[in-house]
Amino acid sequence: MNRPTSEALFERSRRLIPGGVNSPVRAFRSVGGTPVFFARAQGAYLWDVDGQRYIDYIGSWGPAILGHADPGVLEVVAAAARNGLSFGAPTEGELRLAEALVAAIPSIETVRLVSSGTEATMSAIRVARGHTGRSRIVKFEGCYHGHGDSLLVKAGSGALTLGQPSSAGVPPELAQHTLVLDYNNAEAAEQLFAQMGDTIAAVIVEPIAGNMNLVLPEPGFLQRLRELCTRHGTVLIFDEVMTGFRVGAGCAQGLYGITPDLTTFGKVIGGGMPLGAFGGRRDVMEKVAPVGPVYQAGTLSGNPVAVAAGLATLERVLAPGFFARLEATTQSLCESLCAAGRAAGVPISAQCVGGMFGLYFRDSPPRNFADVMQSDVTAFNTFFHRMLEAGVYLAPSAFEAGFVSIAHTAEDIAHTAQAASRALAA
């Protein structure tokens, strides 16, 4: 399909912005071709600068759980903006958002608002190190926790998509404190803790991995991490930037019945505005300045417009029945995609949790990074472009999860299924 304006804008952007984009995975490097430039969005749809409409399964990488430009959210955002865009001083809205998070998630006793998921994870790691007086942290291969130095080691998301899971510019002296284990391998965690558990400040994990496509935790995996951390005085951090209020009203920790020491949030809690948070056990969070010695600050932290968008979004997401409806839509999408694959004789699989899904070009869902790497990336890339031409916007990478909103209708799913049948049969 000809997208003349996107192509012209990308050409200009490449001269001024590294790779023409402000976040690497947007550049279409792994799928090839020119990224689509968008002009507007409403509900489940995006319109590009050439006027083409797409059913959107990225949802701004997670935040757009109500669909785009939800009228109720826009109204409160406009009202908040009229009262001032930023004060750099406390507001009642921040307190109300903190109250909402504490009320919704039992593990959150106190919480600090920041402006992005990366800030939340970076800060949570610093707090864990400050709390324990230890340097080492443990993460899992293919999990992505934002682009903080300590966390860009064997990372997922854009880093994985571009084949740079460990970034240049991270001093080896720092990276050596980050130990990497296989996702879903509790035995390896057990062995590592037996050797050096008492020197590990934190284990950080995506309780449902969403940055190496979607990988679910196997029964007992998260529980074993909880037990090891408790036994060794290590801070267990659940990175729920992606899963927070996206997989269920109680987040992933509610689904699996695990109480982490700290949790990080982003995406949905900002309702499409830049907002993140980290919170958890009071004694750990009391290490944060100005109460404690761990410094963390931000001019736009708790921004009143972002907080208003987040509160309006959470109110809707936490209403009874929201997730049952959302998951039914996501489930029907996954079933349709698998049926299209079977009919075309193409080995694909799919699964979902809440409003998040994984579509895999392999015959069964992966359980770790090595499985993810066995996907047929070439087949995915062809599928991606055929879907794009049919007006369906999927993540431009075989290694990203997909997102469904409450605004997606049965007709949207049916249209997507037809497009997938044609794309796979071609």
Q: Which residues lie near ligand HOZ (CB under 6 A)? A: 23, 25-26, 61, 157-158, 211, 400
State yes or no: is 287 an active-site residue: no
Our CB check for ligand HOZ shows the closer of 142 and 217 to be 142
Report the alpha-carbon distance of residue 295 to residue 289 in Å, rounded: 5
CB of 397 to ligand HOZ, least distance (A): 8
Sign of CA dihedral 25, 111, 129, 230: negative
Residue 326 has which token pair? 């959302």
Q: Which of 139, 154, 267, 287 is catalytic?
A: 267
> How many C-beta atoms surround the C-beta of residue 32 within 10 A?
11
Q: Which is nearer to ligand HOZ, 37 or 335 (CB)?
A: 37
- To the nearest whole angstrom, how small is the minimum distance from the Cβ of residue 240 to ligand HOZ? 14
The DSSP secondary-structure symbol of 365 reads -
Distance CA 122, CA 361 (A): 33
CA-CA-CA-CA dihedral for 168, 22, 24, 242, to nearest 10: 100
Of 155 and 288, the one with the shorter C-beta distance to ligand HOZ is: 155
Is the Cα torsion angle 309, 312, 313, 315 positive or negative in sign? positive
Least distance in Å: CB of 324 to ligand HOZ? 26
Active-site residue identified among 45, 57, 144, 360: 144
Least distance between ligand HOZ and beta carbon 160 (Å):
10
Q: In terms of CB distance, is 193 or 369 closer to ligand HOZ?
A: 369
Q: Are 372 and 213 in contact (CB under 8 A)?
A: yes
Shortest spacing between CB 323 and ligand HOZ, in angstroms: 21
Residue 144 or 193: which CB sits closer to ligand HOZ?
Answer: 144
Q: CB of 60: closest distance to ligand HOZ in angstroms?
A: 7
Q: Amino acid identity of 343?
A: A
Smaller CB distance to ligand HOZ: residue 24 or 217? 24
CB-CB contact of 23 with 162 (8 Å) = no
Told to judge if 144 belongs to the known catalytic residues of this protein, a careful annotator would answer: yes
Is the bond preceding residue 290 a cis peptide, omega within 30 degrees?
yes
Q: How far apart are CA 307 and CA 313, in angstroms?
A: 10
Please classify residue 34 by burial: count the beta carbons closer than 10 Å to its beta carbon, then call 0-12 exposed, 13-18 middle and 19+ buried: middle
Q: What are phi and psi of 182, to 5 degrees?
A: -75, 135
User: Residues with Cβ < 8 Å from 166, sequence gap 6 or more?
Assistant: 152, 153, 154, 155, 159, 175
Cα–Cα distance between 68 and 54 in angstroms, integer? 12
Residues 417 and 83: beta-carbon distance below 8 Å: no
Nearest residue to ligand HOZ on Cβ basis:
23
Residue 267 known to be catalytic = yes
Residue 121 CA to residue 227 CA, distance in Å, equals: 22
Name which of 162 and 249 has its Cβ closer to ligand HOZ. Answer: 162
In sequence order, the 6+-apart residues with CB closer than 8 A to the CB of 256 are: 207, 217, 222, 223
User: Which lies closer to ligand HOZ via its Cβ, residue 166 or residue 176?
Assistant: 166
Enumerate the H helices of 26-112 as residue ranges: 71-82, 92-104
- Point out the catalytic residue in the list 48, 56, 239, 412: 239
Residue 31 or residue 108: which is nearer to ligand HOZ going by CB?
31
**Could you give the C-alpha distances from 51 to 39, 54, 266, in angstroms and in order?**
8, 10, 31
The nearest distance, CB 261 to ligand HOZ, in angstroms, is: 24
Give the integer Cα–Cα distance in Å for 267 and 271. 7
Smallest distance, Å, CB 418 to ligand HOZ? 27
Report the nearest approach of ligand HOZ to the CB of residue 168 (Å): 18
CA 194 to chain centre: 31
Residues belonging to the active site:
144, 239, 267
